[in-house]
Amino acid sequence: MSEGDHLRQYRLSGAPVLSSDAMVPPVGFFDSGVGGLSVARAFRSYAPLEPILYFADTAWFPYGGRPAAEIRKRAFAALHALIARGAKLVVVACNTASAAALSDLRAAFPVPIVGMVPGVKPAAAHTRSGVVLVLATPNTLDGELFRRVREEYGSGVHVRAVAGHGLAELVEEGRVGTREARVALERLLGPHVATGADVVVLGCTHYHFLMSDIRAIFPELTVVDTSDAVARRALAVLREEGLVAPDGAGPATFELIASGPRARFETVARSLVPELFAAHAETTA
């Protein structure tokens, strides 16, 4: 059996695979935890009529240190679950999963798939010193996707790869804005800022929720976050494919699926993106 065949047959244990009852098919989002909610929130601001179905693979969080083959299996499992529930488009709102599996997912599934790409291009355009940081998980930094983006858009600047060890875990545990988060950011970014870096690319969707901390510690540092750009790209693809929710559709729902224990996850999610829970939200284990 080929790797592709094995991945196509993989299913996520513990998560029910059901058909969506929504009149308007949802847009699916997938991440290892709360990070991708940053993209879902941005998408909701641009597409308020679109139902959102969010899959958090919390049973396998974090992805950052796992083998690429294992991450691909989880990504295929998540896509199967989202599409089985009626997702008309899927956003892989996880840089690590995008780096490991995006091209394979697009080849295997019939729905449009949008992924995360490190924002080296806008960072190169914004830098004055010529020194750009890419803060991401080790898997993202070691992946082919980052290598290609770095070669294509970073040739005229000095791109420094910074592995954000422990940052995603801080966000997942709801420790945004804490002294522990500030100490970690100072340790990871401080030496680079002191030696000329003036732009940092957030190469993990979890890090979006640390933007306020980064800006408070390093006001001279420009922060590049692609959550908004990916949300706009997802809406553009919906329009290109004729999949936009019709006028008058609604109310747009927000359904949250977690592969692991959900109580702690939902508490943190509500604290980070309360606006997604403001109307109708449903949580499924």
So which residues are the catalytic ones? 94, 204
**How many angstroms separate the CA atoms of 151 and 100, rounded?**
18
**How many angstroms separate the CA atoms of 142 and 224, rounded?**
20
**C-alpha distance across the termini of the chain, in Å:** 31
The answer, yes or no, to whether the previous bond of 261 is cis (omega within 30 of 0) is no
Give the H/E segment covering residue 139.
Answer: helix 138-142
What residues contact 68, with CB distance under 8 A and at least 6 apart? 99, 100, 139, 143
Residue closest to 203 by CA, chosen among 153, 266, 135: 135
Q: Which residues of 265-274 are buried (b: 16+ CB within 10 A; e: fewer)?
A: bbebbbebbe
Give me the residue label for tokens 């449009």: 112
Plot region of 248 (φ>0 → left; ψ -120 to 50 → alpha; else → beta): left
Distance of CA 207 to the CA centre of its chain: 10
Question: Which amino acid is it at 168?
Answer: A
What residues contact 183, with CB distance under 8 A and at least 6 apart? none
Distance of CA 94 to the CA centre of its chain: 3
Contact 29, 111 (CB under 8 A): no
Contact 200, 223 (CB under 8 A): yes
